Amino acid sequence: MKQGNLRSTSILTTRRSALAACVGLIAFIVMMPMLEGCETTHASTGAPKRAAMPVSVVKATRSEVPVTSEWVGTLDGYVNAQIQPQANGYLVQQDYREGAQVEKGQVLFEIDPRPFEAALHQAEGQLGQAKAQLALAIINVNRDTPLAEAHAIAQSQLDNEIQQKAQAQAAVESAEAAVDTAQLNLGFTQVRSLITGVAGQATTQVGNLVSTQSILTSVSQLNPIKVYFSISDSEYLALVDRARKSGSGLLEGSSKIPLTLTLANDEVYPYKGHIEFVDRELNAQTGAIRIAAAFPNPGNILRPGQFGRVRAETEIRHDAVLVPQIAVTEFQGQQQVYTVAANHTIHVNNVTLGPQYGDNWVIESGLAGGSLVVTDNLQKLREGEPVAPQLTQYQPSVNPQTSQSATR
């Protein structure tokens, strides 16, 4: 019985060994083609052979680029007038609608005129008395002049009457001036606007006692409207140089440099502005100089107190190298552009970026004009890798409003 078991175990072991040998032979036969392929690939280079990656390329162009600077500006009225009364009294009426357009000379408020009417009547009465005294003095002089010539009366009497006539004439003139003053004060009870513009909210109400120190409201001329902004010393000198080349005077308010205003909602204001004046001095603490620009404002859309971004061309760079923004990558703080060499391999260029120009970057250094710049698959590229470049059409942006060097 034991011998039968041993024989069965031996036969089972033999069959297992034969089966393992067959499996190993089959695996070897399957792997042969793969091993032969690997030996073929490594025969010449010793490394796997990679196919050239297709990439899109454009030529780095050279163009004249107007470099613009941008500053934060504050809007204000072209003329702002504080409306103050020239007479003291109780406010009895408001004659304008707050926030509405008012004209020069339009009545905005009325002060109780009764005290001033009384003062006018008194002045007119005193003028009447003075004129009566003058008339009497004239009669006396006219009557006594021939009598004095005939020696019927003393000459001294005529001299006194002539003097009284002169005094009466002076009194009349003084009374007339008093009447004019009273009429002027009565007119001051109607508070008028001295400019045409938009009237603001009233700061006092009907029934309040006002004086010549009270501010009743403000009126602002809004068309055109002013925008105040500050620029650095270097930017100011650049603007002066550009104004000189354009044949206009920056300091005389006749600058032909167009200004663009971008509103708080990022919309570009449709009207161009110009520099109205430059402040007389540079702020020693900030190193900036204040500039006022004027923009047309039909319909009074823009209002004082708003903010906007003022943009102006400060220089023009000739033969500037331009590449699309999508072609620029950053690696460890260094800006890089991938180009295709003559042997269709990748070369990594460390570049220095200049101002942005539309959808492009101006390259200060690190790249020559005419280079084939890669615009896609940038994350997959490495130095020296073979590529299959496909040249695409590229037209640089020519909109100067999208070129900027700084924002303040």
Q: Where are the domains of the chain?
A: 53-65+317-403, 70-76+219-315, 101-210
**Residue environment code for 126-140, b if the CB has 16+ CB neighbours within 10 A, otherwise e:** bbeebbebbeebeeb
CA distance 360 to 403: 9
**Residue environment code for 303-325, b if the CB has 16+ CB neighbours within 10 A, otherwise e:** ebebebbbbbbbbebeebbbbbe
Distances from the Cα of 89 to the Cαs of 44, 186, 210, 388, in angstroms? 108, 11, 6, 90
CATH number of 53-65+317-403: 2.40.420.20
pLDDT in tens, 116-138: 999 999 999 999 999 999 999 99
31 vs 207, residue with greater confidence: 207
pLDDT surpassing 90 at residue 12: no
Quick one: pLDDT at residue 119?
A: 95
Q: How many CB atoms lie within 10 A of CB 103?
A: 10
For domain 70-76+219-315, give the CATH superfamily: Efflux pump adaptor protein, beta barrel domain (2.40.30.170)
Quick one: pLDDT at residue 241?
A: 79
Quick one: pLDDT at residue 19?
A: 53
53-65+317-403 and 70-76+219-315 share one fold: no
pLDDT-based confidence at 41, cuts 50/70/90? very low
Across 376-385, average pLDDT: 88
C-alpha closest to that of 174 among 141, 114, 136, 133: 133
Is this prediction's pTM over 0.85?
no
